[in-house]
Amino acid sequence: MARNRLRKFLRKLFKGVGGHEIEPDEIFLDSSNLPSFDTDQFEGRLEHPISKSSLFVFGALMTVVMLTFVARTWTLQVVQGSDFKERSENNRLTHSVVFAERGVIYDRNGIELAWNSEENKEDFARRRYADTLGVAHVLGYVGYPLRDSSGFYYRDYFVGKDGVELSFNDVVLGKNGLKIVEVDALSEVKSESTIRPAIDGDNIVLSIDSELSDALYSLLRARANESGFVGGAGVVMDVVTGEILALSSYPEYDSQVLSDGNDDVAIANFISNSRKPFLNRAASGLYTPGSIVKPIVAVGALTEGVITPTKKILSTGSLRVPHPYIEDTFSVFKDWKAHGWVDMRQAIAVSSNVYFFEIGGGFEDQPGIGITGIEKYARLFGLGDPTGISLSDEASGLIPTPKWKAETFNGDDWRVGDTYNTSIGQYGFQVTALQMARAIGAIANNGVLLTPTLIKDKKSEGKVIDVSNVHLQVIREGMRRGVLEGTARALNSSAVAVAAKTGTAEVGVKKEFVNSLVTGFFPYDNPRYSFAVIMERGPTGNTIGAPAVMRDLLDWFAIHGVEYL
């Protein structure tokens, strides 16, 4: 009964609004029911109101956040607004290069040797090269503009890498233009506007005759393969203007393959080829000249007065020089045959070594010009120095001297035998085919040493060599006699009168190889063109070399190049 009274009291005490009463069992719970509450859902827990301090902290935090947001908005919209607007415009408007077309390269007759082909999906026109032989080292090749994976050109220009593509890169390169491209959010092009047009490169007309170059190269290749030579080179030069009509080197690389750069097998073959197709044998190949330097030694001997054109020297097949310290001991310097008594014209024609030993180094009562004189006249005619042609890899050559010998052979003294060997183009003598064509050109044109040029109708610089034309005429007559009755008889052509000098130089440690050389000019009565042909490193005993190449080229002139004759 006491419990019932308590229930009635509590009912009155907790009577709620609207007649709802809070039952006592809603307040006083049996502790045995607690395990059935889900405490993770806050069942069985008493709720407490949020404290004022918590509300204050929360309000302060929100105030800081709002102030920070307002400050950042002010910075972006007001302080840096113009900068971000410009960036936005740049993202929408992109700059793009407009590639200039590279200048076309023509031969002297207007035949295209290098031009541009737009048959590709790139922004620039790719270079195309004619399949003409014998012009690769003259033309060279190019490297194309390069871009990264995102399409950005980190090299937006062509690179000339050899030949006139390199030497005249500034001429044929042109100047790129600029355009603005508008793109949308998906980077799709909406419009384009050129703001600076491209300026195409200038065209170049070379002095080279591409048909002549092709013919010369084919003859060099055929002779090398038939007679076992490693390679060969040939030069044809206008002795009036200095223009180079042909400058061919066998073997050569392929300008198209190197420019395209996608034929790995072909490029690897060029690199590994023991015949060195990257070597420009005409301008950069150095060769022991042998007897083709004898005309220059002869000019020096006449100019220095050590001999007259008509004085004869006896060649019995060798020259015996007594040892200065050992009695009855001799050094023997051989001629290639016994020529008997020969004057200067005959000595040039038959290429007498003994004659040039004596006028070069002296013997008994015959004085010579000595190594100093040999070097002097060799340099006067351009040997030992670059010719100045517009090719980047031209070689200088070498004229042996006492200083050179001392530096090369650990202080060894210069001897008369060294002078003898130098006077016939042996020992350490080295020249290029281009140097020899230029030197013989100066003999042909009355002593004007021209700077060779690869550009048609370009005035060549030249200097007059201080030698008598009377003496030069003696040399010319000797070279003509060499074609009519001497060592250069292979060049005795009915198509044109030629004057020439041949040479054979022994090379190799055991002298088991030879270089075959010939140089000269034509027409004889009114010289217009000089030439030099070198066949490199053939087997000893081979009798068919450079003169055979030049004879075949003269026959080609008679049919396809009569305007040169």
Give the DSSP letter of residue 441. H
- Quick count: other Cβ atoms within 10 Å of Cβ 205? 16
pLDDT at 425: 95
pLDDT at 74: 64
Reported in sequence order, the residue ranges of 493-559 that DSSP labels E, i.e. its strands, are 499-507, 513-522, 529-539
Q: In angstroms, rounded to a whole number, what is the distance separating the alpha carbons of residues 86 and 69?
A: 23
- CATH dotted code for 95-205: 3.90.1310.10
Q: How far is CA 444 from CA 295, 332, 474, 479, in A?
A: 11, 35, 11, 10
Q: Which residue has the tokens 């040399």?
A: 475
pLDDT digits (tens, 9 = 90+) for 223-260: 999 999 999 999 999 999 999 999 999 999 999 999 99
Mean pLDDT, rounded, of the chain: 88
433-444 and 294-304 helices cross at what angle (nearest 10)?
40
pLDDT at 308: 97
Q: In angstroms, rounded to a whole number, what is the distance separating the alpha carbons of residues 107 and 127?
A: 16
Q: In angstroms, rounded to a whole number, what is the distance separating the alpha carbons of residues 370 and 333?
A: 16
pLDDT at 500: 97
Q: Which secondary-structure segment (H or E) carries 223? A: helix 210-227
Q: In angstroms, rounded to a whole number, what is the distance separating the alpha carbons of residues 151 and 228?
A: 51
CB 233 within 8 A of CB 533: yes
pLDDT at 17: 46
Q: What is the distance between the terminal CA atoms of the chain, rounded to a whole angstrom? A: 152
pLDDT digits (tens, 9 = 90+) for 353-362: 999 999 999 9
Fold type of domain 210-254+279-564: Beta-lactamase (3.40.710)
Domain ranges of the chain: 2-33, 95-205, 210-254+279-564
Reported in sequence order, the residue ranges of 104-255 that DSSP labels E, i.e. its strands, are 105-106, 112-117, 126-129, 142-143, 146-147, 153-155, 159-160, 177-183, 189-196, 204-205, 231-238, 244-250
Q: In angstroms, rounded to a whole number, what is the distance separating the alpha carbons of residues 437 and 245?
A: 12
Q: Give me the residues of the chain with pLDDT under 50, please.
A: 17-18
Please determine whether the domains at 95-205 and 210-254+279-564 fall in the same fold group of CATH.
no
pLDDT digits (tens, 9 = 90+) for 115-141: 999 777 778 899 999 999 999 999 999
Q: In angstroms, rounded to a whole number, what is the distance separating the alpha carbons of residues 18 and 117?
A: 98
Q: Sheet containing 105-106: give its strands across.
A: 126-129, 112-117, 105-106, 204-205
Q: In angstroms, rounded to a whole number, what is the distance separating the alpha carbons of residues 413 and 228?
A: 37
Q: What is the dihedral of CA 201, 203, 208, 211, to 10 degrees?
A: 110
Q: In angstroms, rounded to a whole number, what is the distance separating the alpha carbons of residues 463 and 381?
A: 10
Considering the entire predicted model, what is its pTM?
A: 0.81
pLDDT at 147: 87
